[in-house]
Structure 1
Amino acid sequence: MYDTILVATDGSGSANRAVTHALEQAEQHGATLHAIYVVDTDRYAEPGLSSIELETADVEDWGHEQLNEVAERGDSLGIDVVTRCCHGKPNVEIIGYADEIDADLVVVGYQGHSHTKTDLIGSVTDRVVQNAGRPVQVV
């Protein structure tokens, strides 16, 4: 049913549950799993010659760590995992990458690190669900 699955992560608890679910789906369907981490340019300015550059670099390093963990988990299950770390607006980058790889399924967490109200769906998740134009599972 699924040949290509995309999971978005920011390292939050909800995103980690989404990664677990996406790995299960990829294993069950023999799918390739793509994992994306987006450095949110609305929160972290593009690198320049300032202290923001260090903060942005730290966030990008964190993203690579999260993606490496997904890849290692996939490798241990025999799942092909492709990772992408990029900069931009998370919902735009997630949807754009889903379109690029023609994902059969997009898996996202209910809410991410920046969300403060525990009873509401996160804004990135909401935008992905409304605009992806393909199946999205919210975990």
Structure 2
Amino acid sequence: MRAVIATDLSDAMDTAIESRVCLECLARYGIDGVDLVTVTSPNVTTGMPGSDVGSRTKRVLERHQAALEAEGFDVAVHVVRGTPHRRVNGLADRVHADLVVVGSRGKSPLEERFIGGTTRDMIRTATRPLLLERIRRESEDDYEVAYEHLFRRVLYATDFSENAERAFDQFRHLKHAAREATLLHVAPPDRRADPEAVDDASGRLEELADELEGKGIDDVRTMVRTGESTEEILAAEAEVKPTTVLMGARGRGRIRRLLVGSTSESVAARSDSNVLLVPPTRQG
């Protein structure tokens, strides 16, 4: 299995790529090959007189490559120019990546600013399972990954749709890394007074829990909440404190993806955990 790891050569991504525990988690997921990619602006010319852009890029990528190879990964390095999300997605499709990993610095003190840039574009256009690895800023020059054990505790949110089922299929890989799983369904507010709907959801979650226990994940709990999806998923996250939230991403057409407001995007913007988003199967 191959993963595309996108790096902007920042200190934050240094922290993520050089964390041995995080890399061990990727190996337990099944990753044995890594395509390490950085995307430079079309307006930046490497090797310009007085500029060390080219040499710095080479030094950082060589260090990342060495760290990955030391953990046993087969590594290919790519330096490309263009729009980051397009080039990363294009590479992921070309190498048939099983996972794309993007670092997310999470919430700034003033705003949830990361959702405004490349990460938001990746969420909206991903064609492969996308892991947003949360990186915290401890001080001006110091970062740490939010959870080194990326997949130890998984919160899986489902609306029982086909796309949610596709996300659940990730447990084929996560079973080797997960020790705990919480299966969550959020019922719309108008079903609050419908005990049959709640019982049906509970029963379906129990069936999924039995399936996970059959895969070797012994600590599985189920949870049915009622209310607005994003708020209830985040409330459940605060309660169970997962290392990763797993959910399906609806996917959007060329026009619809310009709109903001999907549950997956909102959770990704506001979650404190890593987020693993699984896009729908591509048509055609």
Question: Counting strand residues as a fraction of each chain, which structure ranks higher?
Answer: 2
Write the deviation string for residues 13-48 of structure 1: whole angstroms up to 9, x where unpaired. 43234424763344322520110011122xxx1549
Query: Which structure has the higher relative contact order (CA within 8 Å, separation 6+)?
Result: 1
1:78 paired residue number = 72
Are 1:14 and 2:9 matched, yes or no? Answer: no
2:114 paired residue number = 121
What is the root-mean-square deviation of aligned Cα atoms in Å? Answer: 3.0
Q: Is the 8 A contact 2:98 2:129 kept in 1?
A: yes
**Secondary structure at the counterpart of residue 40 of structure 2:** strand
Amino acid at match of 1:84: H
Are 1:60 and 2:54 matched, yes or no? Answer: yes
What's the CA shift for 1:6?
0.5
Q: Is the 8 A contact 2:93 2:127 kept in 1?
A: no
Q: Is the 8 A contact 1:23 1:33 kept in 2?
A: no
How many residues align structurally?
128
Change (3 A) 1:30 1:105: closer
1:40 paired residue number = 41
**Secondary structure at the counterpart of residue 114 of structure 2:** coil
What's the CA shift for 1:66?
2.2
1:27 paired residue number = 27
Write the deviation string for residues 31-70 of structure 1: whole angstroms up to 9, x where unpaired. 20110011122xxx1549xxx9447x63233222222112
Distance in 2, matches of 1:27 and 1:73, equals: 14
Distance in 2, matches of 1:22 and 1:98, equals: 20
Question: Counting helix residues as a fraction of each chain, which structure ranks higher?
Answer: 1
Change (3 A) 1:22 1:104: farther
- Structure 2 unaligned segments of length 5 or more: list them: 134-284
Q: Is the 8 A contact 1:18 1:108 kept in 2?
A: no
**Secondary structure at the counterpart of residue 109 of structure 1:** strand
Write the deviation string for residues 102-122 of structure 1: whole angstroms up to 9, x where unpaired. 1110000115xxx9x663225
Distance in 1, matches of 2:111 and 2:71, equals: 32
Change (3 A) 1:127 1:60: farther
Distance in 2, matches of 1:22 and 1:68, equals: 19
**Secondary structure at the counterpart of residue 38 of structure 2:** strand
Distance in 2, matches of 1:58 and 1:91, equals: 25
Could you state the TM-score of these two structures normalised by the residue count of structure 1?
0.75
